[in-house]
Structure 1
């Protein structure tokens, strides 16, 4: 697959969720079914090893097996794919880039060093080495709200002024003022915002989402993206209902019960009903008990029927 330029990274991208067996191994047969379904859904691309892909818990063998499977299937389908090479240890991140490069991904995702927040100089040193290892493949910075180093618009301007091949980023986004500050950068790099805020983000200049809504239902997430392109007002109305549903029935599992965002994403997939992936996470993290799925699913059928099978 040829490396993507920043203006070629857009739309709804689906993440791979790991099906975890009772012995903590990955069910690769089910993972293969998942990739096939995502390809058939028509999403704009697929990526591995975001937070929902539990990159922090994978062995090198698992990382390579997941990357190989996705690369083979996406190459055959001619669908863009990104390999997440993130790790809390910068040297492991570097090793993952070297492994991933052999699969010719469309882009490579990384996080910033995660024990101490890097200084500006350390940030540049880190990205220079990562870029050299990944070349000619561009880097996508995964900078979620819990990252130790939160990048602001000026940080991206510095990175681009240094000539670093950053083609995109995944960020929380913000209100209208944030989009105004990012306006010049949106002409240079691909800005991806959370899936449940994609319509409002797209209306203010964002390019797409590494989407939690594709966890809930990838087919409907892509239909919603097409709705944004053709009828933004209708898409914004649906976004209101999406966020009401998440706020009432999904986010409390995090804010009140302490489950991780990876647990929430797998829970969404179980509620959506498009794949029998379960809710288990790799040790030591806990998934939301599967017994919780039925009651939330019933509320979803009532409040957000487009996304619930």
Structure 2
């Protein structure tokens, strides 16, 4: 299959839906609706649900259905593109989520490779072919993050995704110059979504279609402005990226390296630093979350280092 028939127009700055979690571990659906409205008003390129930061691994099937219905109905009313994450470590539950997402008609549906026991490559192809059948013509995006049980190289991704025509995009971590060369050689027919804080580099390379973005966690509107800037002034966008990476490395990543907080905890911390919506830092039990007081102290740091994001 050629690049012209495979590559999908999905691109740009995609904001993740973060679950407002109450002290009793319930989902604050009123706050979730408010959050969706804020993201729509920010005019991001799109909104997606049930990534890692959306805690797809820690919700019931009834909650999953309610989240997707809320997202899809509000986005359709506002003409906002949306992607649904059908991710679930159990392959049968994931196919069930995928099947129930199809009637909501998202722009695409995101899946992971079943994750309790790593799949062999033939098993991965088998799974994606079955998922393609269930998707009934809706494009699929494979989510293969650094914390997956099996992280695939660009060549391996091409081998696994190539036989599955519904897989049009891949969300993945990028790497060094050799990784970009390998991606260019193997994955040009796919829309690639790199980490949000590397989007300018990925855009300049010609490899990245966009990001399901942690930068949008800090500021949806600021991240959108930065993404738009890449089309007209990539050098300035790269300079901003260098400061985003410095902020992440110096002030956010240490929460993971030194204290073991998850990526979902870090994304919620970023949203609390940005202060743009009613998300909060709380994760669902048993996962630990960063105390909100850290967001207050880091907000001034972010405003000084990243005024383009914090004051869009």
- State the TM bucket, normalised to the shorter chain: over 0.9
Say which SS state the counterpart of residue 167 (structure 1) adopts: strand
Tell me the distance in 1 between the aligned counterparts of 2:163 and 2:69: 32
CA contact 2:125–2:164 (8 Å) conserved in 1 = no
Match of 1:107 in 2: 108
Q: Deviation of residue 228 (structure 1)?
A: 0.6
Normalising to structure 2: TM-score of the pair? 0.95
Tell me the distance in 2 between the aligned counterparts of 1:199 and 1:76: 31
Say which SS state the counterpart of residue 7 (structure 1) adopts: coil
Aligned positions of 1:141-156 closer than 5 A? 141-156=142-157
Tell me the distance in 2 between the aligned counterparts of 1:161 and 1:258: 36
Q: Deviation of residue 36 (structure 1)?
A: 0.9
Matched, 1:303 2:305: yes
CA contact 2:128–2:161 (8 Å) conserved in 1 = no
Match of 2:43 in 1: 42
Which sections of structure 2, spanning at least 5 residues, go unmatched? none
Q: Structure 1 100/256 Cα, relative in aligned 2: closer, same or farther at 3 Å?
A: same
Say which SS state the counterpart of residue 256 (structure 1) adopts: helix
Q: Deviation of residue 39 (structure 1)?
A: 1.0
Tell me the distance in 2 between the aligned counterparts of 1:160 and 1:267: 33
Tell me the distance in 2 between the aligned counterparts of 1:116 and 1:70: 31
CA contact 2:129–2:164 (8 Å) conserved in 1 = no
Matched, 1:204 2:205: yes
Say which SS state the counterpart of residue 306 (structure 1) adopts: helix
Q: Deviation of residue 183 (structure 1)?
A: 1.4
Normalising to structure 1: TM-score of the pair? 0.96
CA contact 2:155–2:186 (8 Å) conserved in 1 = no
Match of 2:173 in 1: 172
Tell me the distance in 2 between the aligned counterparts of 1:175 and 1:156: 17
Aligned positions of 1:51-200 closer than 5 A? 51-200=52-201
Q: Deviation of residue 163 (structure 1)?
A: 4.2
Q: Deviation of residue 124 (structure 1)?
A: 1.1
Q: Structure 1 221/5 Cα, relative in aligned 2: closer, same or farther at 3 Å?
A: farther
Tell me the distance in 1 between the aligned counterparts of 2:21 and 2:257: 25
Match of 1:249 in 2: 251
Question: Which portions of structure 1, spanning 4 or more consecutive aligned residues, are displaced by more than 6 angstroms?
Answer: none
Moved more, 141-150 or 5-14: 5-14
Match of 1:234 in 2: 236
Cα offsets for 1:192-240 (capped at 9, x unmatched): 0000010001111211000000000000000000111110000000001
CA contact 2:49–2:84 (8 Å) conserved in 1 = yes
CA contact 1:273–1:308 (8 Å) conserved in 2 = no
Tell me the distance in 2 between the aligned counterparts of 1:203 and 1:293: 32
Q: Deviation of residue 182 (structure 1)?
A: 1.4
What RMSD in Å do the two structures reach over aligned CA positions?
A: 1.4
Say which SS state the counterpart of residue 168 (structure 2) adopts: strand
Match of 1:294 in 2: 296
Match of 1:219 in 2: 221
1:278 corresponds to which of 268, 271, 280: 280
Number of equivalent positions: 306
Say which SS state the counterpart of residue 34 (structure 2) adopts: helix
Q: Deviation of residue 162 (structure 1)?
A: 1.8
